[in-house]
Amino acid sequence: MIDVENLRIRFGDREVVKGVSFSVKKGESFGIVGESGSGKSTILRAMAGLNESWEGRIAFGGEPAALKRPPGFFRRVQMVFQDPYGSLHPRQTIDRILSELPLVHGMDNIDKRIVQALSDVALPQAARFRFPHQLSGGQRQRVAIARALIADPQVLLLDEPTSALDVSVQAEILNLLSDLREARGLTYILVSHNLAVIAHLCGQVGVMLNGEMVEQLSAQDLRVGKTSHAHTTELRTLSVGLEEPA
Amino acid sequence: MLVDIQNLRIAFENRSSRFEAVRGISLSLGAEKLGIVGESGSGKSLTARALMKLLPSNAAITADRLSFDGIDVLAASETQMRQIRGKRAGFILQDPKYSLNPVMNIGRQVSEAWRAHKGGSKKQALEAAIHLLDQVKIRNPREVAASYPHEVSGGMGQRVMIAMMLAPDPELLIADEPTSALDATVQAEILRLIEELVSERNMGLILISHDLPLVSHFCDRVAVMYSGRVMEELKASELLNARHPYTKGLLNCMPSLTHPRDRLPVLNRDASWLTA
């Protein structure tokens, strides 16, 4: 479904992504972990078409993505951002936020689509005519997911979708994401610095260090500790050490 | 007792409504490490801020007792409070990007903090600042002192904040989500550093966080807050034997590397928690 080959991204003289390759099958999920500045979000932004200065090959469903994405691309690939407080327009109602994309793409039955999208993410219909500041952080992230789903995409690019949320709300969002994946056969690429979140949602994991993907392994291998690169081992040890209460 | 809080209540009022955000909290702290854990909106930061009298003007505070080292904080004048803030109790906030002055180099900021409380010449203060930067394990303190906040990483910025707070040798350190803006690897380093410094100097620590297992590694006791109340207070080592369903729920709903699950249990909030 998704093939990334030898992806290179530079900002000025500085190469921040140095030849990254991976592929994801339809209905599966790929997780990218790494520290801040390792280039994980930069990869996602290039895949979403938010950054046009990259080299290499990015293909969705066998079709190479052009540098400048055609409008139809965004009906198939959508992105959800980290901060639900920053990614929703503060002066627009949820109704307006959700109708933007169907309007742009000239879709029909916008009213029905919004009703459906809200119920898909388990938001009450009453939320439709509220403003973002009237919702909680978890509800806002549901709106952001609903906005991505309204295009009926095949691929969701998720950039730290739960790191701004409380652990209790994180559990709800992670459950929602796995339900949606099953119901709609979605393919996810999830970027996070939290190994437990990645292993929970993804089958395959890529580990980034200084712009290189130093290791790719299955979530199962990561859980049992079959890691080969020192950085992966370090991240895992730390995560396991801190997740158990003292 | 360094900090003694009995039946603290904080309410926000406007013309038409009144909302009680903290509803009768009692906590006490000596030279030890206390973790306050809870979801957003549970009142954990408000509690810490009330202790320093750093609340917005529309907040109404009442308490049977709210004292810092015997000083009644509610009755204290602004002058008395300024003797406590910074000097006797340091406050570390979440994001160093917003708490450091972007147009002043790090050496000057740390030495300013030192001079404000200890006096002395600029040169002495700068030397003291470099020594402090060295204490928070910055490898090249002189270089860092000469650089500006945007030139250092988030973890380094947080170390600088800690150095500034340590300058007047406070008796209490309040750290409000000191590492949530940092990477997992850096997070552990910073918390370990705070813990070491606090133990070394025999200070009190209030560590506020939403990550229960994480806090338990660095504290002696943990108070779990929900909706403005303390649900449960227990020793960090006894977290696994927590009795309250809220504490158990918080521990349970986190995904785990070593114990995979298909679905995460969701926290079911019980209205009776608020009346018990």
Over range A22-42, report the average pLDDT: 91
Q: Do A200 and B261 touch (CB under 8 A)?
A: yes
Name the interface residues of B facing A (CB cutoff 8 Å).
Answer: 39-40, 154, 183-186, 188, 210-214, 216-217, 236-237, 239-240, 249-251, 253-258, 260-267
Full residue range of the structural domain in which residue A134 is found: 2-243
**Could you give the domains of chain B?**
3-88+172-274 (3.40.50.300), 98-169 (no CATH)
**Contact state of B255 with A35 under an 8 Å Cβ cutoff:** no
A117, A153 Cβ separation under 8 angstroms: no
Listed range (A22-31, A51-60, A206-215, B182-191) with the worst mean pLDDT: B182-191
Find the residue in B nearest to A36 (Cα).
Answer: B183
The pLDDT assigned to B271 comes to: 80
Output the pLDDT for position B95.
Answer: 79
Shortest distance between the Cα of A201 and any Cα of chain B, in A, equals 9
Contacts with B, A 179-198, CB within 8 Å: 193-197
CA nearest to A174 within chain B: B264
Query: How many Å lie between the alpha carbon of A188 and the closest alpha carbon of chain B?
Result: 17
CATH of the domain at A127: 3.40.50.300
Task: Give me the residues paired with residue B9 across strands.
Answer: B23, B62
DSSP string covering chain B? --EEEEEEEEEEE-SS-EEEEEEEEEEEESSSEEEEEE-TTSSHHHHHHHHTT---TTEEEE-SEEEETTEETTT--HHHHHHHBTTTEEEE-S-HHHHS-TTS-HHHHHHHHHHHHH---HHHHHHHHHHHHHHTT-S-HHHHHTS-GGGS-HHHHHHHHHHHHHTT--SEEEEESTTTTS-HHHHHHHHHHHHHHHHHTT-EEEEEES-HHHHHHH-SEEEEEETTEEEEEEEGGGGGG--SHHHHHHHHTS--SSS--SSPPPP---GGGGT-
pLDDT tens figures, A177-213: 999 999 999 999 999 988 999 999 999 999 999 999 9
Pick left, alpha or beta for residue B70 (phi over 0 → left; psi -120 to 50 → alpha; otherwise beta): left
Indicate the SS3 state at residue A222.
helix
Interface of A with B in 11-40 (CB under 8 A): 35-36
Domains: count for chain A: 1
Residue percentage of chain A with pLDDT more than 90: 68
Confidence tier at B168 by pLDDT (50, 70, 90): confident
Q: What is the ipTM of this complex?
A: 0.80
- Residue A244 predicted with pLDDT over 80: no
**Beta strands A204-209 and A29-33: pairing type?**
parallel
pLDDT in tens, B181-235: 777 778 888 899 999 999 999 999 999 998 888 888 999 999 999 999 999 999 9
Q: What is the pLDDT, as a whole number, of residue A175?
A: 93
